[in-house]
Structure 1
Amino acid sequence: MKIDVLTLFPEMFSGVFGSSILKKAVEKEAASYNVVNFREFSNDKHKTVDDYPYGGGAGMVLKPQPIFDAVDHLKKDSKANPRIILLCPQGETYTQKKAEELAKEDHLIFICGHYEGYDERIRENLVSDEISIGDYVLTGGELGAMVVIDSVVRLLPGVLGNEDSPIYDSFSSGLLEHPHYTRPADFRGMKVPEVLLSGNHQKINEWRENESLKRTKSRRPDLLEEYLREKNKKVDHLD
């Protein structure tokens, strides 16, 4: 997967893209990253990328020209039709389902804004997706882009050591993930559930499913309601 990021602060991405799973994705040739300062595409002699909003108001608005020209430049070298993603508070709330959808693409372009907002023509005529990572406002779109990229790249084939890991992630099944335990089996009198030591994989899977349902009911009843509605199930034994 090819990932381009348009930002005014490219230095923010160096540590993220050079660490952990995102770094391993590059080493395994599953992903490549290209961070572009879209100020370089401004045709203004002062390289300005923002201006005062028509009609007045607080703050500055990102101009369309630098961003349109930067995207045009990136698309010229693309072998696929890229998804162009705008990070903004007005976008759809990001979910694991969206991550799985984006992980099927060959080329993603992320636009990270600053200031008061974007010229509306960017939204209406350039981007394919508008994404918000939550109901709060950040200084810019960079941190949101990092979140989305991390969640997408880890789903690419061959990136994680265990290919089953994404399948059992919280939200991938529609539920929160079950509890995990490791050695020692008895730590300060706190013991691992016997079923996990039994070697009976059928009973272990049943326990994990039940615990996942219980945890989701306790912590995210909204998710459980949706899960049961989709599965057309009734669960009466979770208390």
Structure 2
Amino acid sequence: MAAVAVLAVGLLVPYLIHRSGSMSVPGWQGLVMPGPLSRKHAFLGQNCEACHTPHLGVTAEKCIACHAGAEAVLSKQSTVFHAKVGECAGCHVEHEGGERSVTMDHGVLVAAGHAQASLTKQNESVREAALAFARLLRPPHAEQEQATSLDCASCHSNRDPHRGLLGRECALCHELKTWKVASFRHPSPASTECAQCHQAPPSHYMMHFEMVSKRVAGKEHARVEQCYLCHTTDAWNSIRGVGWYKHH
């Protein structure tokens, strides 16, 4: 008899939920909810169908219904790609509480067709220089081949420390999981071409450079572009003849 009752409840609850919505059977959500919603989605409470569609799970249409007009997201270069990506749950995960849970999965962007821009628009000499530099750093591998299909520069060019000198194909050197290039070797400490890659901080174009920086390093006649006179190549805060000195 007990088994029959359990079976009846097991059939009745889904029927009522499909017919009248998740709020029609109070309390059932607590039995299936894997964890609390994020703070931004907490207002949804136990209204499951706000995000979930029966038999389909979380669909992009549900997300777009609320977030399509998110000006803060669609107006920034680093996030404007959301306008073309139709798979939200691949990166945005709920029921983990806290502020929000985002797993940046570039593979989702590949699947969504966020492809590399046409290389015909790129200076071929720049491309060849980037390829030669990349080969020095590491050999190609499967993940890199996937990464090169992405138009990385469409999101990251505003923060390009190379100032466009190495072209748009970031994935020739960088991986999807981390921007740090593990096999990168800094030029010789004797190099005097630091300014080709490094931009001095704003303070070096103000009186702080004249009154503090040059005096600390003991280089009264140093110019801003002569980084090598004061700095070493192991860290910017390691000053030649002084040691570790952080003044920015």
TM-score if structure 1 supplies the norm length? 0.25
- Higher percent of residues as helix: 2
* Structure number with larger C-alpha Rg: 2
Please identify which structure carries the higher strand content: 1
Which protein has greater RCO, CA pairs closer than 8 Å, 6+ apart?
1
